[in-house]
Amino acid sequence: MSEIKLRYGCNPHQAPARVFIDGHDLPIEVLSGAPGYINLCDALNAWQLVRELKATLGLPAAASFKHVSPAGAAVGLPMGDDLKRACFVEDMELTPLAAAYARARGADRMSSFGDWAALSDVCDEATAKILKREVSDGVIAPGYTPEALAILRAKRDGKYHVIQIDPAYEAPELERREIFGITFEQRRNTLVPGFGLLERVVTARKDLPPEAQRDLILALITLKYTQSNSVCFAFDGQVIGVGAGQQSRVHCTRLAAAKADKWFLRQHPEVLGLRFKAGVNRADRNNAIDQYLEDWLSPAEAQLWAGHFDQVPPPMDPARKRAWMATRSGVSLGSDAFFPFRDNIDRAQASGVSYVAQPGGSVRDDVVIQACDDYGMVMCFTGTRLFHH
């Protein structure tokens, strides 16, 4: 038996705890730190996501995980100057892998605070330098260059968690878990969402450009490793909003859309032009930007927020936000299960969604298709549910 003893399980009072495999060696090696139970849940789910993105799209991929759902995921496409500034990497060298992580981290920086990072390729020095300065719990990758490993081992005085995984490892066909002393067993979800899932276009508009196909696949693979119910918005090779773990599908859509709106608004000239006091760190700048984009702040929030700026701006006017969002289009939306009502499409359209992939199978499919036709969207029925629990 091969095992790694953990400090505790989900909570400090849940000890002892360990991860183990009977019959052969674990496919992971801890190179730094002492990861915990939740760390490894994030690491192993995130690794599968980036591995499948790389295999399907042929580009370096990265993910930013929190509490066993992705806050962001992306492939390594070049970044424009405004996006670099919005992601706080305008001063960094960006290799394709580093760009993938900068995009994944920048999808939802509020949720990515204290994240677990996953990288599809050997971690290079440029990516390690981004990880070094972010508040992050750990990283998993198939390898590390000597320079990258030295940087990461020095982070948090050697307590930063660094895991190397064997990229050739494949899990057994059957997987098991226990709940309340009862063992569950099922066939592992080996289906990797690919371009074949996009062939059944059910709307009047049929054209799916290559960029939309890429983003829909990115959304679907991300959903496969997101706690259900879930909806994912993707654009320009990256996730820009995830609505995870909601009981109502429209709440998933509203949550993902609100995050996507903030991603776009973070690149608004007014946001990029905010003048912070010297010494305000990235986390505080990020929180201040998030509050700047809120329509309402409590007096305590407003007082704290105002202290970060040389000259205090008022929160961004809702009319200017709506005007900025009205110019957005080309966003891809994936859903892990069917849309039961058109309200999901109505909300998605307000956040620039032009392309949709969902399983189909609702008794109201005709109503949802009509909603897409009303907005000139393209929608595919994948025929494949992607629940993950």
Q: Which residues are catalytic?
A: 66-67, 229, 389
CA dihedral 6, 7, 8, 9 (to 10 degrees): -40
Cβ 65 vs Cβ 115: under 8 Å: yes
Strands (E), 126-206: 136-141, 161-165, 174-179, 182-187
Residues 6+ apart with CB under 8 A from 318: 295
Strands (E), the chain: 2-6, 17-21, 28-32, 61-66, 69-75, 115-119, 136-141, 161-165, 174-179, 182-187, 230-235, 238-244, 331-335, 353-358, 378-381
Cβ 110 vs Cβ 132: under 8 Å: no
Reading the block at residue 286, the tokens are 């990020």
**341: number of Cβ within 10 Å:** 15
SS (H, E, C) 228-259: CCEEEEEECCEEEEEEECCCCHHHHHHHHHHH
**CA pair distance 71, 62, nearest whole angstrom:** 11
- DSSP tally for the chain: helices H, then strands E: 14, 15
**CA pair distance 122, 287, nearest whole angstrom:** 31
Residues 6+ apart with CB under 8 A from 165: 27, 28, 29, 43, 47, 140, 141, 142
**CA pair distance 135, 115, nearest whole angstrom:** 7
Three-state DSSP at 26 gives coil
**CA pair distance 368, 153, nearest whole angstrom:** 51
